[in-house]
């Protein structure tokens, strides 16, 4: 993933809709950090953002997609295949690559796909034209949203209102990096590596624990209560709506710096190390909290390494773990309906005990 400067910035602005800048978003630091870490290491497994209506969830996610550097794709390929990495190629492109054919290349923005609540499984996964397949002997495949989201972000607003079966399909694809469609004995498989971002309002229903556990991270966002900060956010939004080009230009340098920081973190990530003692303590915290399975351990290790890479370091620190672990474990705790203690606080308390730290007070 590289930043390119082939098209002048003004031409790009004319070609696509102006999006509110990621670096201009005030507050919601937990949500912004969780999204950045998943972009640096998509194997973290996505983010579930739960919170009040009107807290900027959709705005932040769209701003992140706009911030990300362009990716190189094979021209006219419906799966956004990478021209050099066979693991990110469709079967057709990979066959050409293995035969050392010259692949036409192009640059495009990272895809950001919105999944509507009323989407069917065919719309999400894609469909096979059985009649054409039988009569002409070709695999006639109409790509779905998972194909379009490959190497990008897939955003599901109000994911807690989505059919559980559909959520399961999304999570399976996000975890495996592949989507398989089977109809009448015909099977088609294509890459589907994307960062899955779900958002929802707890008042409209919770996601089943079995599904919630499969999201890598969970973040809770709250409405800003400070009146001065609320006024600042409202004024900022009004300024953007009145003159989006001028407003965006004010943050261009910050956007470029953060974009470069993300690219550097992705490059640095394979070199980041985590001491054995820290890994043992992470697992000890998971054990103390009675977290089922090993997803909590794995995601915490990945997230801590991504945070170290984001900050330009090759060694994970205790502070890295302390910062990301509540996001990685809070949704994996067994819920006691009689308990009033916040799950995030329980995680922070366990971290403090195992690592010998003082518990931070709000």
Token reading at 195: 């960062």
- pLDDT for the residue numbered 315: 96
* Region 270-355: CATH code: 1.10.8.80
d(CA 107, CA 30): 31
- Residue recorded with tokens 């640096």: 40
Are domains 28-68+109-223 and 270-355 of this chain identical in fold? no
Token reading at 121: 């499984």
d(CA 344, CA 108): 38
* pLDDT tens-digit series, residues 44-81: 989 999 887 777 888 898 899 889 888 899 988 888 98
C-alpha separations of 105 from 83, 151, 153, 155 in Å? 7, 15, 21, 27
Token reading at 138: 């070709």
Q: What is the DSSP string of 264-290?
A: HHHHHGGG-B--HHHHHHHHHHHHHTT
Sequence ranges of the domains in the chain: 28-68+109-223, 270-355
- Judge residue 178's burial from the number of C-beta atoms within 10 Å of its C-beta, 0-12 exposed, 13-18 middle, 19 or more buried: middle
| Coil/strand/helix, residue 200 | strand
d(CA 27, CA 224): 8
- pLDDT for the residue numbered 320: 96
Which tops the pLDDT comparison, 9 or 96?
Answer: 96
d(CA 143, CA 81): 13
Q: At what angle do helices 276-288 and 318-329 cross, to 10 degrees?
A: 30
C-alpha separations of 24 from 239, 247, 251 in Å? 12, 9, 7
- pLDDT for the residue numbered 324: 95
- Taking a C-beta distance cutoff of 8 angstroms, is the pair 324, 285 a contact? no
Residues in the chain, total: 362
User: What's this model's pTM, rounded to 2 decimal places?
Assistant: 0.86
CATH superfamily of 28-68+109-223: P-loop containing nucleotide triphosphate hydrolases (3.40.50.300)
- Taking a C-beta distance cutoff of 8 angstroms, is the pair 321, 300 a contact? yes
Task: Using the predicted structure, report yes or no on whether residue 14 has a pLDDT greater than 60.
Answer: no
- Taking a C-beta distance cutoff of 8 angstroms, is the pair 324, 304 a contact? yes
Catalytic residues: 295
With a pLDDT cut of 90, the percent of the chain lying above it is 36
Q: At what angle do helices 29-40 and 318-329 cross, to 10 degrees?
A: 100
Residue 339's pLDDT band (cuts 50, 70, 90): low
Q: Are strands 71-74 and 126-128 parallel, antiparallel or unpaired?
A: unpaired
Residue 2's pLDDT band (cuts 50, 70, 90): very low
Q: What is the DSSP string of 17-67?
A: -----GGG--S-HHHHHHHHHHHH-GGG--EEEEE-TTSSHHHHHHHHHHH
Which tops the pLDDT comparison, 318 or 166?
Answer: 318
- As a whole number, the mean pLDDT across the chain is 85
| The dihedral formed by the CA atoms of 227, 232, 238 and 241, expressed in degrees to the nearest 10 | -130
Token reading at 82: 């990478």
Out of 8-12, 103-107, 355-359, pick the least confident: 8-12
- pLDDT for the residue numbered 169: 85
Determine how many CB atoms are found less than 10 A away from the CB of residue 122: 13
Token reading at 2: 């590289």
- pLDDT for the residue numbered 137: 58
* pLDDT tens-digit series, residues 28-45: 899 999 999 999 999 998
- Taking a C-beta distance cutoff of 8 angstroms, is the pair 336, 292 a contact? no
| Coil/strand/helix, residue 197 | strand
């Amino acid at each position: 993933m590289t930043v390119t400067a082939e098209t002048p910035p003004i031409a790009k602005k004319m070609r696509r809709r102006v999006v509110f800048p990621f670096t201009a978003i005030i507050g919601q630091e937990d949500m912004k950090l969780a999204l950045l870490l998943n972009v640096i290491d998509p194997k973290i497994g996505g983010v579930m953002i739960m919170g009040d209506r009107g807290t900027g969830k959709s705005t932040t996610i769209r701003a992140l997609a706009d911030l990300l550097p362009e990716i190189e794709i094979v021209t006219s390929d419906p799966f956004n295949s990478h021209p050099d990495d066979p693991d990110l190629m469709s079967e057709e492109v990979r066959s050409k690559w293995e035969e050392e054919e010259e692949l036409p290349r192009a640059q495009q923005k990272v895809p950001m796909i919105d999944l509507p609540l009323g989407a069917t499984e065919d719309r999400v996964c894609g469909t096979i034209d059985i009649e054409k397949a039988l009569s002409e002997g070709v695999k006639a495949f109409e790509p779905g949203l998972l194909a379009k989201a490959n190497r990008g972000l897939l955003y599901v607003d109000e994911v807690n209102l989505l059919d559980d079966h559909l959520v399961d399909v999304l999570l399976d694809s996000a975890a495996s990096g592949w989507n398989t469609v089977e109809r009448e004995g015909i099977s088609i498989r294509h890459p589907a590596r994307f960062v899955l971002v779900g958002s929802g309002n707890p008042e409209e229903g919770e996601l089943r624990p079995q599904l919630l556990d499969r999201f890598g991270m969970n973040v809770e966002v709250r409405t800003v209560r400070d009146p001065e900060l609320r006024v600042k956010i409202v004024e900022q939004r009004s300024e953007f709506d009145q003159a989006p080009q001028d407003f965006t230009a004010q943050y261009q340098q910050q956007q470029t710096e953060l974009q470069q920081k993300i690219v550097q973190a992705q490059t640095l990530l394979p070199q980041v190390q985590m001491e054995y003692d820290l890994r043992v303590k992470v697992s000890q915290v998971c054990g103390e909290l009675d977290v089922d399975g090993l997803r909590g351990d794995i995601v915490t290790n990945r997230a801590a390494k991504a945070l170290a890479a984001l900050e330009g370091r090759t060694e994970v620190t205790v502070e890295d773990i302390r910062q990301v672990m509540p996001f990685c474990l809070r949704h994996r705790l067994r819920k006691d309906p009689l308990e009033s203690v916040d799950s995030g606080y329980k995680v922070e308390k366990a971290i403090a005990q195992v690592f010998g730290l003082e518990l931070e007070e709000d």
